Amino acid sequence: MMALTTKEDLDSIKSWLKKGKAVALTGAGISAESGIPTFRGKGGLWEKYDPEIFANAEELLSTFRQKPERIVDFLSDLYSLLLQAKPNPGHFALAKMEEKGILDCVITQNIDDLHNLAGSRKVFELHGNAFHLRCEKCFRRMGLDREKLADLINKMNKYKNSKWKLLRLFSQFFPKCTCLARFRIDIVLFGEMLDYDILSKANQAVNNCSLLFLIGTSGVVYPAAQLPFAAKEKGAKIVEINNNPSELSYICDYQILGKAGEILPEFIK
Ligand code: OAD
Q: Which CATH number characterizes residue 164's domain?
A: 3.30.1600.10
pLDDT at res. 15: 86
Asked if residue 59 and residue 140 are part of one domain, the reply reads yes
pLDDT at res. 4: 56
Biggest distance spanned by C-alpha atoms of the chain: 63
Which residues does a 6 A CB cutoff place in the pocket of ligand 1?
Answer: 27-29, 32-33, 38-41, 55, 109, 127, 188, 216-218, 221, 241-244, 246, 259-260
Instruction: Mark whether 127 is an active-site residue.
Output: yes
Torsion of CA 265, 245, 30, 12, to 10 degrees: 30
For residue 1, is pLDDT > 80? no
Q: What percent of the chain has pLDDT over 90?
A: 84
Asked if residue 220 and residue 104 are part of one domain, the reply reads yes
- Residues 6 or more apart from 8 whose CB is under 8 A from it? none
Q: What is the pLDDT of residues 135-160, one digit of tens each?
A: 999 999 999 999 999 999 999 999 99
Asked if residue 134 and residue 122 are part of one domain, the reply reads no
Which range of residues forms the domain containing residue 207?
1-35+87-127+195-269
Options 91, 115, 127, 132, the catalytic residue: 127
For residue 14, is pLDDT > 90? no
For residue 171, is pLDDT > 90? yes
For residue 63, is pLDDT > 60? yes
Number of domains in the chain: 2
For residue 225, is pLDDT > 70? yes
Q: What is the pLDDT of residues 236-264, one digit of tens each?
A: 999 999 999 999 999 999 999 999 999 99
Asked if residue 163 and residue 206 are part of one domain, the reply reads no
